[in-house]
Structure 1
């Protein structure tokens, strides 16, 4: 059974403790950022090779009142990961999935992807997560703190959250808790929903419309009974078979 992170946005205060904890655990350097001309408290402006996690700020008018929505963006660690399925078409096991945790991990082999192949992998992700270090060519993103999990510790972002907005545990337990919490929130927030709970291992609980958080808050397409992840994985398998 894979591990799952539940992110309850109703409890997120945008303290950005998770964002900093992620940078510290992975030893990521600071970014040179600018507020002038950006007009947002969000910092930096987007995910990048030095930020695997980013608390996004979104302002929306609700009956004339400004509402702030906060979204701690990161890799969703898909059950069937289109980035892995696409990457396997070019370099097998450059992107792997940990059998114990379900974490999707980018290895040093990702340096072998060309820029064009990287862009194809990035475009396959319905959440626009993969990033690439220009100097080395290495692909990077959230690892779910896979090393911490294997040593009996929760992900750094979960550990640092002061409000309980992030919970971590076995997938079945987190799904049960998420649905119970959703039922409670729907009483006051009828738009509340779980973002793609059946296909990802980082589940967001939203209390507003997804587009009021982030363009990629939910998967960008559903194709018939298949999610976009499953559809892309189905397309990739014949190519893998031909390659083998």
Structure 2
């Protein structure tokens, strides 16, 4: 089985939230109390019972009002910083499925320092289940995929906004679709496509969709996030090296 990827073509998303509901049903996630908080977006954010949420942003582009929709979920990074952070604490608490590339959180995540893992994700995706103490997120429906089925969200999408398949084919499809829409929407782009298995195609400035839509929105890369996370360790190592040199100097 070749490694897999998603394409989320926001130009075809109608915000029906079918993907959001299908994800909740397949993963048998509970309900949560919500209120009218001034937006059609519901619930207002990802949570331990909502692995996928369609974000609504009512904004203005070139003097005209527009709705921008963004089906937010785990990006299944090619080199997941959450796994790097977890491995520094407990090996294999977070796994990367070799067949699909899916980033999987195991029961061992309840033993991790949750804040370190949450801070490592540049897309603000993982959530802590306060009851079970597990870290949770989208699983890529890897159980379905390994049995020849599409992820639940892709299967239910009525407009073809979501595609799933072998990475090379999805990347090719994304590039072709981008070339098509560029004629009418010159700012259209693919978000962090080389680094992620969930590739978003957006028509407008990426900053208009969601604060964490892309690492470029904030000028921070996954590598920068990791350097920030592990800075205390490198500082200690550097200090140790300096002290070692001072101690050895009289013997030269």
TM surpasses 0.5 = yes
Aligned to 2:167: 171
Cα distance in 2 between the residues matched to 1:107 and 1:74? 18
Matched with 2:188 is 192
Conserved? CA contact 1:105–1:143, under 8 Å = yes
1:141-185, CA deviations, whole angstroms, 9 ceiling, x for partnerless residues? 000001000000010000000000000000011001100000000
Matched, 1:229 2:222: yes
Conserved 8 A contact 1:17-1:157: yes
Matches within 5 A, 1:91-130: 91-113=90-112, 117-130=113-126
Which structure has the greater CA radius of gyration?
2
- Which is richer in helix? 2
Match of 2:26 in 1: 25
Q: Secondary structure, in 3 states, of the residue corresponding to 2:8?
A: strand
Q: Does 2:67 align with 1:71?
A: no
- Are the equivalent residues in 2 in contact too, given 1:80–1:230 (CA < 8 A)? no
2:134 aligns to what? Answer: 138
Equivalent residue, structure 2, for 1:47: 46
Return the TM-score normalized by structure 1: 0.90
TM-superposed CA distance for 1:135, in Å, is 1.1
DSSP-derived class of the 2:215 partner: coil
Deviation at 1:63, TM superposition (A): 3.5
**Unaligned residue ranges in structure 2 (runs of 5+):** 238-252
Alignment of 1:82 onto 2:81:
yes
Question: Aligned-pair RMSD on alpha carbons?
Answer: 1.6
Deviation string 1:4-61 (CA, Å, 9 cap, x unpaired) is 00000000000000000000000001111001xx110000010000000000000111
From the superposition, tell whether residues 92 and 212 of structure 1 become closer, same or farther in structure 2 (CA, over 3 Å). same
SS of 1:5's equivalent in the other structure is strand
> Separation in 1 of the partners of 2:40 and 2:133?
30
Shift of 1:219: 1.4
Tell me what 2:246 maps to: none
Partners of 2:56 and 2:90 in 1: how far apart?
36
| Number of residue-to-residue matches in the alignment | 229
